[in-house]
Amino acid sequence: MQSRVVFAVWLAICALALRPAYGQSEAALKKAQAAFDQAQAEFLQGKYDEAARSFQHAYDARPFPSFLYNVAATFHTKGKKASDPVAYQKAIDAYRKYLAADPEAPDKAKVEKAIDVLEAEIKRLKGPPAGAGSPVAAPNGAGNTAPPAPPPSEEVKQLEVKVRGLVVIESEPSNATIYLDDKRKGAFGTTPWSGTLEGDHKVILEKRGYMVLEKTISADPTKLFVLSGAMAPASFLGWVEITSNVPGAEIFIDDKTVGAVGKTPLSQNLPKGKHTFWISAEGYDEVKQEVDVIPNEVTPIRIQLKGAPVGRLNVTGPGIEGAKIAIDGKVLCERGPCQKRLPEGDHTITVTRHDYKPFSRRITIQAKTESQIRVTLAPTQSRSDAFVTFLLAAGFGGGGAYLGLQANQLRDALKKEIAAGKPPPDSNDPRFLRGKYYAIGADAAFAIAGIAALSAVYYTFRDKGAPSTGVIDVRSIALTPSIGPGYAGLGMGVSW
């Protein structure tokens, strides 16, 4: 407890000590911004020497390398306008200073190429003129008129040159982690940061022991835009540093339903107290960890993901968006395409869609593989033949029943008349033959009805037409070692 109090007092003293420095920096930044704006105006007016001088003043106020680039670009433009080797040389000198100030400049290659092209252009311009021996123009312009400047070479013409706007992101205190737009993209940089940005962006600044700062910027490529954030200390926050042996593993905190908050490695503040972390990566067992975040302390979370015997199932195919995919009788996806992880082993996949024949297949999911099934569902065929056959069966059944009743009536009447003998039917009584015909007809009708009914049942349940099919393609999910700044682990990719 005593140590914490001492630490807080120390932080307060530091903060007070830093305030003047931050104020000086802010004045320099305003000076630099004024010089930058003036330089832009002069550049647009074609006052290249003045503009270059103003960009240099801006650099002098705040040494952002982009200011030096703009000095070079200004001389480059002047030289290109008049094929002036002196201006070209100044541009080359400024480019070199730019590269010296920012050796890791993202446009280093382009700048070096520009230097080479301009040096060649200077040599070309200083070489013997096409009309050697002709009178040279007097410096004061008296006498003969000066010959027109030669056009720039094709190489020079192809070089793109323009002054840049500048986005400066600063924070107080500095060394805050910058996230651009979404923390899940990972860290963008640390303050102070300067560079070129275009469009609207959300800037998230995060630093241990300070409240998270979020701002939205609209960067103008022709202006100097400065984002200065004063981060408020937060004594109730703890700092967590989450890393895993698998870089890029998704991090869920406290509530999985809101989605992943970022990917490993990730450092951020969290309110004090207990938090639940889930770290998951494709092909690995998900790790759940409960962590008690202590304010003003760093809580490292080191996650060791272990490969699980799981594979991935990817169900695709024409019309799959209307199909329901089930595994082992349980719905896996309400509609396709469906890409899910499944435990290693045998499974039964069933793809159903209204008015289509279901597709069912026994598949074996292997660990660290993706089993892609391209399902082509065949439409179910009409059952009109079964309906007609049922009608036929019913018709013959009804006819058979009618004929049977007629036969039975005749039989009973004949029996009765034979017994009574009033009058006795004779052996050629037509009712014998008629009754026999009725009986045979009834039996035949019953037989046909039975056959028709069986056929109808068959027609009802038979798999008519082509079945639904599926093509299985198994692909391995490769795990490759990956090393990055501040982390090392295994990356995953799919290959086949």
Contact positions vs other proteins (CB under 8 A): 400-401, 403-404, 407-408, 410-411, 414-415, 417-418, 421-433, 435-436, 438-440, 442-443, 446-447, 449-450, 453-454, 457, 461
User: d(Cα 55, Cα 50) in Å, to the nearest integer?
Assistant: 9
In angstroms, give the least distance from the CB of 403 to other proteins: 8
In angstroms, give the least distance from the CB of 388 to other proteins: 18
User: d(Cα 298, Cα 294) in Å, to the nearest integer?
Assistant: 8
3-state secondary structure of 138: coil
* Phi and psi torsions of 15, nearest 5°: -60, -45
CB within 8 A of 104, min separation 6: which ones? none
Judged by CB, which is closer to other proteins: 133, or 421?
A: 421
Q: Bridge partners of 303? A: 244
Distance in Å from the first CA to the final CA of the chain: 59
In angstroms, give the least distance from the CB of 398 to other proteins: 11
In angstroms, give the least distance from the CB of 312 to other proteins: 39
User: d(Cα 76, Cα 88) in Å, to the nearest integer?
Assistant: 6
Judged by CB, which is closer to other proteins: 65, or 435?
A: 435
In angstroms, give the least distance from the CB of 392 to other proteins: 14
Strands (E), 198-344: 199-206, 213-219, 224-230, 237-244, 250-253, 262-263, 266-271, 273-280, 287-293, 298-303, 310-316, 324-327, 330-333, 338-343
Judged by CB, which is closer to other proteins: 15, or 391?
A: 391
Closest among 235, 180, 240 to 211, alpha carbons compared: 235
Judged by CB, which is closer to other proteins: 219, or 401?
A: 401
The structure tokens listed for 49 are: 């020497």
Strands (E), 133-198: 166-172, 177-180, 187-190, 193-195
Judged by CB, which is closer to other proteins: 257, or 427?
A: 427
User: d(Cα 102, Cα 65) in Å, to the nearest integer?
Assistant: 6
Judged by CB, which is closer to other proteins: 128, or 421?
A: 421
In angstroms, give the least distance from the CB of 386 to other proteins: 13
3-state secondary structure of 151: coil
In angstroms, give the least distance from the CB of 391 to other proteins: 16
Judged by CB, which is closer to other proteins: 294, or 401?
A: 401
User: d(Cα 461, Cα 429) in Å, to the nearest integer?
Assistant: 48
The structure tokens listed for 225 are: 């835009």
User: d(Cα 426, Cα 272) in Å, to the nearest integer?
Assistant: 113
In angstroms, give the least distance from the CB of 464 to other proteins: 16
In angstroms, give the least distance from the CB of 359 to other proteins: 23
Judged by CB, which is closer to other proteins: 354, or 422?
A: 422
Judged by CB, which is closer to other proteins: 34, or 401?
A: 401
**Neighbour-count burial of 51, counting CB atoms closer than 10 A to its CB (0-12 exposed, 13-18 middle, 19+ buried):** buried
User: d(Cα 147, Cα 151) in Å, to the nearest integer?
Assistant: 12
Judged by CB, which is closer to other proteins: 39, or 386?
A: 386
Could you tell me if 369 and 312 are in contact, meaning their C-beta atoms sit under 8 angstroms apart? yes
In angstroms, give the least distance from the CB of 358 to other proteins: 19
